[in-house]
Amino acid sequence: MSSKAFNPFVMAQAQFDKAADFLNLDEGTRELLRNPMREYHFNIPVRMDDGKVKVFRGFRVQHNDARGPGKGGIRFHPHETIDTVRALSMWMTWKCAVVDIPLGGSKGGVVCDPHNLSAREQEQICRGWVRQLARNIGPETDVPAPDVMTNAQHMLWMLDEYEAIYGKKMPGLITGKPVGLGGSLGRTEATGFGVIYTVREALKDMGIKPEDTTASVQGFGNVAQYAIRLYNQIGGKVVCASCWDQNDQTSYSFRRKTGVDPDALITITDRFGGIDKSKAAEMGYEILPGEAWLEQEVDILVPAAIENQITGENAGKMKKSVRIIAEGANGPTTPEADKVISERGIFLIPDFLANAGGVTCSYFEQVQSNMNYFWEKDEVLGKLDLKMTSAFQAVSELARKRKLYMRDAAYMISISRVAQACKDRGWV
């Protein structure tokens, strides 16, 4: 599905440039914001289970910290590139700004495939990543978190290494920690739930009842699973989900007209979101090609996997019934597809707004950690809903007033906030 030439950083800069033009941003601020402030590239040597040493490539990119310490996840992915991490760090800056939390934007990555690594090898990668960066990250400088193929266990190994280096407990280093070890209740649900809080608001504004709608979701990882659960809870019906199949090295879509049941599907899903096809067929799912999720006769599409999925090539395959696209993933839509979406009048909830629930909950985790007092799950999710709802309303109001595409409106709000912080600090 992804074209080889796709470069997420070029795409992130093109999106930025468009919004910077709308804002009439001055040259200096533009130059500062269209590139990361700092980046680190390094090797992580690991002694593998077979006794041989393998060297993994690691990155951390700090795009902008004018509004607060850098914030953003660490991805483990075999095709990770520095330009992907650059783009993702930039999107983190806009994400934290759009929900108005006092954090900047960073992202990290390791070129590796956890499918083929033992737990011990993954632990060594985590510890090695922290050893390379211990002087450049920290509770007051740059705070990592989970992302694609990393989870609470990885975060705890990283924290443990960092605390061993500094000889003291510093839970503020990292978020997405296990509950009971400094983690926040609701963090696992936060990104997927956040996507649906924005979908719920969009439907409300359009005068559509959730129970009259259906959706198709790309992915069945953490974001997709919780998005499906909450959307079902508010009365909608997800009829299709998809996943990456590690054995076949391709993706598949799973369609069931009576609705996707995430609780049943999870029992036949591996730890990376791969669904067992024959068991799914027994449960009544049709197994379709990976791209079929996009071609369903539904009201709402939720790309919740990775970048570069709705493109100029396949955007024409979306059915006329589609009224909303909510981007659970980072960067799933290319600028060519944006053109198609906006011309067709589909209401887009852009990635750094729709999926900001994760980082917002990370911020709550830090607040709770600092107080050393942890909230009940309902309190966390209630506060998350408030933040997501007010961010959504601010963006959609601007889009309505100025007749803007939602992505451009979100960019304008975020960029103005970050540019103002840079100006107030005397940087530009």
Residues found near ligand GLU in the complex (CB under 6 A) = 71-73, 95, 145, 147, 175, 330, 355, 358-359, 362
Give the shortest CB-143-to-ligand GLU separation in angstroms: 7
User: Distance between CA 281 and CA 276 in Å, rounded?
Assistant: 9
Give the shortest CB-75-to-ligand GLU separation in angstroms: 8
> Which tokens go with 37?
């402030």
Give the shortest CB-357-to-ligand GLU separation in angstroms: 8
Exposure string (b/e) for 301-323, b if CB count within 10 Å is 16 or more? bbbbbbbbbbbeebbeebeeebb
Q: Which amino acid is at 319?
A: K
Give the nearest residue (CB) to ligand GLU.
73
Residues contacting 12, CB < 8 A, separation 6+: 86, 87, 90, 91, 331
User: Which 3 state secondary structure label does DSSP give 340?
Assistant: helix
> Which tokens go with 379?
């309190």
Give the shortest CB-195-to-ligand GLU separation in angstroms: 11
Q: Which of 296, 385, 403 shows the shortest CA–CA distance to 345?
A: 403
Give the shortest CB-78-to-ligand GLU separation in angstroms: 18
**Which position among 71, 107, 177, 387 bears the catalytic label?**
107
Between the CA of residue 185 and those of 42, 143, 227, 271, 389, what are the distances in Å? 33, 19, 17, 20, 20
Query: Is 204 marked active-site?
Result: no
Beta-strand pair 300-303/214-218: parallel
Smaller CB distance to ligand GLU: residue 190 or 239? Answer: 190
Positions marked active-site: 107
